[in-house]
């Protein structure tokens, strides 16, 4: 039993995107239409991660079903308790905020591979719409991710900022804005 909750939703967007990338390779190898149907389920999950926040282009880190404090938010450290109720039609979900560039990079990774290797015409249109919204949010906020509270998220910077430099843990790879330009 873990005091950290029954699941780790902090990296759901990142891992869901990477999973979508794996499904893209699966389809590329097999050409199985059932794989493409599975890919649609993952695209739908990424769609929910975006749209339940109510802010165009803002991803949630992850979500759980429920109203009020979830198990995960009651037992996380105080600095990790940025949780919100989803907006309609996702009002029955709690989503974790303070999303990071890693979550966006994982989503972009999956979208890119799936678009190129597996997506049908409708899925490509969906991916273009989602990537456009996510990239627009970042570009319009000066290469930063701005959360629902109007503040830049803790790990929401693609460009190295001197005042934030000291907050990076030793050995952390710095994300730079040229990475995002590949997605746009």
Measured distance CA(27)–CA(46) in Å, rounded: 19
**Predicted pLDDT at 163:** 62
The string of pLDDT tens digits covering residues 59-88 is 999 998 888 776 666 666 555 568 899 999
- 116 compared with 73, residue with greater pLDDT: 116
DSSP letters spanning 53-89: TSSTTPPPSEEEE-SSS-HHHHHS-GGG--EEEPPTT
Q: What is the pTM of this model?
A: 0.84
**Predicted pLDDT at 78:** 52
169 confidence band (pLDDT: 50, 70, 90): low
- 130 compared with 71, residue with greater pLDDT: 130
Q: What is the distance, to the nearest Å, from the Cα of residue 142 to the centroid of all Cα atoms in its chain?
A: 18
Residue 169 CB coordination number (10 Å): 5
The string of pLDDT tens digits covering residues 145-158 is 999 999 999 888 87
Residue 147 near residue 99 (C-beta atoms within 8 A): yes
Residues 6 or more apart whose CB falls under 8 angstroms from that of 181 comprise none
Q: What angle is formed at CA 154 by the lines to CA 61 and CA 171, rounded to 5 degrees?
A: 100
Q: What angle is formed at CA 170 by the lines to CA 58 and CA 79, rounded to 5 degrees?
A: 45
The string of pLDDT tens digits covering residues 7-56 is 678 889 999 999 999 999 999 999 999 999 999 999 999 999 999 999 99
**Predicted pLDDT at 122:** 98
């Amino acid at each position: 039993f873990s005091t950290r909750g029954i699941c780790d939703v902090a990296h759901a967007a990142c891992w869901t995107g990477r999973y979508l990338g794996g499904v893209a390779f699966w389809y590329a190898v097999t050409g199985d239409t059932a794989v493409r149907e599975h890919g649609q389920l993952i695209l739908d999950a990424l769609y929910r991660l975006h749209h339940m926040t109510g802010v165009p282009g803002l991803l949630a880190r992850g979500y759980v079903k429920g109203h009020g404090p979830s198990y995960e938010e009651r037992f996380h450290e105080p600095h990790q308790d940025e949780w919100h109720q989803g907006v309609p039609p996702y009002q029955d979900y709690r989503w974790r905020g303070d999303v990071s560039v890693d979550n966006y990079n994982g989503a972009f990774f999956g979208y890119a591979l799936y678009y190129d290797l597996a997506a049908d015409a409708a899925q490509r249109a969906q991916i273009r719409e989602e990537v456009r919204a996510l990239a627009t949010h970042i570009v319009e906020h000066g290469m930063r991710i701005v959360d629902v509270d109007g503040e830049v998220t803790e790990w929401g910077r693609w460009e190295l900022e001197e005042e934030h430099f000291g907050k990076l843990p030793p050995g952390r790879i710095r994300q730079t804005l040229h990475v995002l330009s590949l997605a746009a």
